[in-house]
Amino acid sequence: MVRKLIIIGSGPAGYTAAVYAARAELKPLVLAGEKAGGQLMNTGVVENWPGAEEGVRGPELMIEMRQQALKFGAEMVDKQATKVDLSQRPFKVWVGEKMYEAEAVIVATGAESVMSGVPGEKELLGRGVATCAVCDAPFYRDKVTYVIGGGDAAAEDALALTKYAKEVYLVHRRDELRASKIMVRRVKENEKIKILWNTELKEVLGKDKVEKIKVKDNQSGEEKELAADGVFLAIGHKPATEMFKNQLTLDEKRYIKVSMEYPVVTQTNIQGVFAAGDVVDYRYKQAVTAAGMGCQAALDAEKYLEQ
């Protein structure tokens, strides 16, 4: 059985693509993965989702989007795609030994924040440990916060937190930031940001929420515990593109390249294969922009299949 459309991945991009494709009667098959829902499944309250005045919990939003796609006729398989062959139509997608075929494919496998791997980090994710200050900064009004990293993402997170937090510390393992010159200047000129140079995060401490962090001075070897309300990991993001690296064109950061030009904005280097969300976008990384791109990909796929 050759399907019209397979969507690989879930989250805002995948689920939005599924809603639009299902409403267009394409009967999309969504390979959502064992951990369906993307990064929002680890997010507390999302206050910047349009139309949710009181905010909405990340997992609840993803469940509602999933149910909406199912309502219009999308088919969900909560298993991970393991291999693809995009060299010719129909395109082939494997889940283990089972193979699916489709006339068009939307890749929405997303990206994940790079974790530091220190003890306590995973256990307190969503309870003081976060990966997006732009999303969560308002929850840390008058709190003590730490941003881990030294690149543009870390600088942006630190600057975003200064609007709300009482104290903002930027923890960097070197003696010079990797961020662009303009971002370095903005950080250093902001009196609210204090930089802990040559310092590494060693542990996140707390029972039900973040209470302290343990850091190490990598010059002197001294370790100490610091009171903390929030820890923001800004080490970087890793796109889920390993499966596509020899078939789709990737940029220097390993994100999938799409045309970004009308009339087919989400087109990859292969006609009939589209990509959307955080697997493409390393600049904005917002749920609403991922959802918007998922809509574009579904409309692009619908037009392609019509032609």
What Cα–Cα distance (Å) separates residue 242 from each residue in 133, 173, 257, 258?
27, 28, 14, 17
Q: Which of 78, 85, 135, 157 is an active site residue?
A: 135
Catalytic site includes residue 135: yes
Catalytic site includes residue 136: yes
Q: Which of 85, 132, 251, 281 is an active site residue?
A: 132
Question: Cα dihedral sign for 271, 11, 179, 217?
Answer: negative
Q: Which of 78, 85, 136, 295 is an active site residue?
A: 136
Q: How far is Cα 299 from Cα 294, in angstroms, rounded to an integer?
A: 9
Active site residues: 132, 135-136
